[in-house]
Amino acid sequence: MAGKAWEIRTKLKQLQKSFKTVNHYVETIYCSSPNRRASATAQKKSGSSSKVLPIE
């Protein structure tokens, strides 16, 4: 994961609804289907840069 601390925390909170652990998320995304990519969906805070990078 890459991004600002608040972006990573927000994404982890979203993912905890679907995955029990980060390891489970990584295995699901990268091992079972190598072409799938997660998208960054964190909400932008005012004053932060407008560039949002995908999770890789």
Question: Is 53 contained in some domain?
Answer: no
Question: Is 42 contained in some domain?
Answer: no
Q: Which of 10-19, 26-35, 45-54 has the lowest mean pLDDT?
A: 45-54
For the chain, what is the radius of gyration of the CA atoms? 12
Is residue 23 within a helix (H) or strand (E), and if so which, with residue range?
Answer: helix 22-26
Question: Is 55 contained in some domain?
Answer: no
Expressed as residue numbers, the domain containing 21 is: 1-34
Question: Is 10 contained in some domain?
Answer: yes
Question: Is 41 contained in some domain?
Answer: no
CA 3 to each of CA 18, 22, 32: distance values in angstroms, whole numbers, following the listed order: 21, 16, 25
pLDDT at 7: 93
User: What average pLDDT score do residues 28-35 get?
Assistant: 68
pLDDT at 28: 86
Q: Are 50 and 4 in contact (CB under 8 A)?
A: no
Taking residue 36's Cβ as centre, other Cβ atoms within 10 Å add up to 9
Question: Is 44 contained in some domain?
Answer: no
Distance from C-alpha of 45 to C-alpha of 23, rounded to nearest angstrom: 28
Question: Residue 30 pLDDT > 60, yes or no?
Answer: yes
Confidence of residue 21 (pLDDT cuts 50, 70, 90): confident
Interval 34-54: pLDDT, tens: 555 555 555 656 666 666 666
